[in-house]
Amino acid sequence: MKSMRLWALGLLGSLLLAPALAAADLKVGYVNASALLQASPQAEAVQKKLRDEFTPRRQQLESRAKRLEQMEQDLSKNGLMLSEEQRKAKEREIIDGRRELKHAQDEFQDDLRIRQSEEVGKLREQLLTAVEKFAKSGGYDLILYEGVIYASDGLNVTDQVLALLKNPAR
């Protein structure tokens, strides 16, 4: 009976020590994904691409808004000199213009959101590939990113992954 107890205690002890021994040679790193998304040259390229793609439409919408504003100012200045019919026609034109502008602005925002989502998805794939490449070349067993409450500076490999993103030939 005594030998059975000793054997059970030995087994229990080895089971309790096994995870600690396995974790002893586990190489872990932490990546701040939002910092990578903001600081990587790929993110800057995406921002420039979207800015170049959507600036003409944004400027066109701003120009339409200024024209409507000018029409409203003209109506308020010269409205008394117009006939009732002319004034109502101008008011209708302004109301229709506002409605069309609002619709165009909403469409612009939707298109921009969709394109941003597409580009951020592609960017995330590039970042994940870079993190995976870094982890494999550095011999890491585990790289964490979301949901980490605390990570010591020694585990933070964000700068190394960012360097890899800046110089992918490495």
Supply the pLDDT for residue 16. 53
* CATH number of the domain encompassing residue 56: 3.30.910.20
Judge whether 3 lies within some domain.
no
Indicate the pLDDT class of residue 158, thresholds 50, 70 and 90.
Answer: confident
Q: Within a 13 Å sphere around the CA of 106, how many CA atoms are in the beta-carbon half?
A: 6
Supply the pLDDT for residue 6. 42
Q: How confident is the model over 122-127, as a mean pLDDT?
A: 92
The more confidently predicted of residues 26 and 15 is: 26
- 38: buried, middle or exposed (CB in 10 Å: 19+, 13-18, 0-12)? exposed
What's the structural domain count of the chain? 1
What's the rounded Cα separation, in Å, for the pair 43 and 125?
12
Contact between residue 68 and residue 98 where contact means Cβ atoms under 8 Å apart: yes
Judge whether 62 lies within some domain.
yes
Judge whether 58 lies within some domain.
yes
Judge whether 16 lies within some domain.
no
Judge whether 85 lies within some domain.
yes
Judge whether 2 lies within some domain.
no
DSSP-assigned letter for residue 40: S
* Structural domain containing residue 134: 25-166
Judge whether 73 lies within some domain.
yes
Supply the pLDDT for residue 146. 76
Judge whether 13 lies within some domain.
no
Contact between residue 141 and residue 29 where contact means Cβ atoms under 8 Å apart: no
DSSP-assigned letter for residue 153: G
Q: How confident is the model over 53-70, as a mean pLDDT?
A: 97
